[in-house]
Amino acid sequence: MSRILIVDDERSIRFTLGEFLRKAGYEVETAEDAASALRILGERPFDVVITDIIMPRITGMELLYAIREAAPRVQVIIMTGEPTAETAAQAVRDGAFDYLFKPITKDGVLRTVANAAKIKALDDERERLAAANLEYQKGLERQVDMRTEELRGAEAALQKTIEGTIQATALIVESHDPYTAGHQQRVARLARAVAERLGWPGDRAAGLYMAGLIHDVGKIGIPAEVLSKPGRLSKNEINFIRTHADIGFNILRTIAFPWPIAEMVRQHHERLDGSGYPAGLKGPDILFEARILAVADTVEAMSGYRPYRPALGIGKALEEIRRGRGALFDPEAVDACAALFEERKFSFEDK
Ligand SMILES: [Fe+2]
């Protein structure tokens, strides 16, 4: 039910109009001048104010301006005793909803008040919806913030777990074979640098780096005497060492890494022409990650000292991968790797 405030210095008008509107279903209060109208408006909410224009002290027009300031959504209807069209029009220009000429007719007042009340109700509804919408949006934002926070926490915890797993795995094989320790780290760094040079997204390059850090984990299954034996190895010994690719896969395959790390490890000795091991995979059947690992592994192994031969240096190592470019090694990986060294963008000594 809409609430109406009638402001008029004439008691009879306040009374007659008030009774009439109450009977029409409105909640009505009255005020004898603008000052008490403003006081009442400050205390209780109203939808429509009907005010006389000529009153002692503060006029209806001044009251209109005061209401526009203090309660801009309240609809104001001006009543004027002398029908000067100019004043009424000015009132509407200044924000009054409409005007009524005295003597006011029942139909006229009912229609005008009903329209003003309807406009105010629509405005209230719009306001309510806007507030509800804002509240809903804030709620959504809070939920998104909370979920994001939770996800970040879970992601960080998962990242820690992955790194811990990788580190523990690397430590195990490094304690078994001292030559593997620095080798895995250097291969990992070079493989990541190659991937970055090829424009891989950071996350995929990170997965390759992780695989590099443990790519020789399968050597845990090979006796240390065989791994560090100086001089030529027998056919049997070579075949034995080659099992490290599958052993590594078996060690890692049940760990749910976000990258196919076990498969990268299994394939790091595969060669494009199918001459690699353990499966003799060809070209695109080999994971791109494993093709990069193959290049990085070869370059690192040749450039450094090994129990069975002296260090050959980067030059010889790059010659080797270039010789195998396209047949053994992925051409893109070879080119990127060679460029990294030749442009001095990478060195095994950097930290
Ligand atoms: Fe290996």
Q: What are 75's strand-pairing partners?
A: 48
What's the pLDDT at 295?
97
> For the residues 94-109, what does the mean pLDDT come to?
90
- Choose the weakest-confidence range: 63-67, 108-112, 161-165, 194-198: 161-165
What pLDDT, in 10s, does the model give residues 155-184? 899 888 888 889 888 888 888 887 777 889
To the nearest 10 degrees (0 to 180), the angle between helices 202-213 and 288-303 is 50
Please give the distance, rounded to the nearest whole angstrom, from the Cα atom of residue 301 to the centre of ligand 1.
9
Gyration radius (Cα) of the chain, Å: 43
**Residues bordering ligand 1, an ion, CB closer than 5 Å:** 216
pLDDT band at residue 309 using 50, 70 and 90 as cut-offs: low
Q: Determine the distance separating the centroid of ligand 1 and the alpha carbon of 343, expressed in angstroms.
A: 27
On the question of pLDDT at 190 being above 60, the answer is yes
Q: How confident is the model at residue 278 (pLDDT cuts 50, 70, 90)?
A: very high
Helix, strand, coil percent values for the chain (each to nearest 5): 60, 10, 30
Active site residue 219: yes
* CA pair distance 95, 64, nearest whole angstrom: 8
Separation of CA 345 and ligand 1 centre (Å): 25
Give the least confident one: 227-236, 243-252, 327-336, 337-346: 227-236
Distance spanning both ends of the chain, measured CA to CA: 78
Name the active-site residue from 102, 106, 219, 316: 219
Residue spans of beta strands (DSSP E) within 152-219? none
Whether the per-residue pLDDT at 17 is higher than 70: the answer is yes
CA 315 – CA 158 distance, rounded (Å): 40
What is the model's pTM? 0.62
Interatomic CA distance for residues 174 and 168, integer angstroms? 10
pLDDT value at 307 more than 60: no
The amino acid occupying position 321 is I
- Identify the structural domains of the chain with CATH numbers, from first to last: 3-129 (3.40.50.2300), 177-342 (1.10.3210.10)
Is residue 349 scored above 80 in pLDDT? no
Calculate how far, in angstroms, residue 306's C-alpha sits from the geometric centre of ligand 1.
Answer: 13
Flag whether pLDDT at 85 surpasses 80: no
Q: For the residues 262-276, what does the mean pLDDT come to?
A: 97
Q: How far is the CA of 170 from the centre of ligand 1 (A)?
A: 13
Structure confidence at residue 351 (pLDDT): 58
| Average predicted confidence (pLDDT) for the chain | 91
Q: Which residues pair with 28 in a beta bridge?
A: 4
**Predicted local confidence at residue 350, as pLDDT:** 61
Q: How far apart are CA 194 and CA 212, in angstroms?
A: 12
Q: How far is the CA of 244 from the centre of ligand 1 (A)?
A: 7
CA of 158 to the centre of ligand 1 (A): 27
pLDDT tens-digit series, residues 205-229: 999 999 999 999 999 888 888 887 8
CA torsion, ordered 303, 304, 308, 312, to nearest 10 deg:
40
Phi and psi torsions of 4, nearest 5°: -115, 140
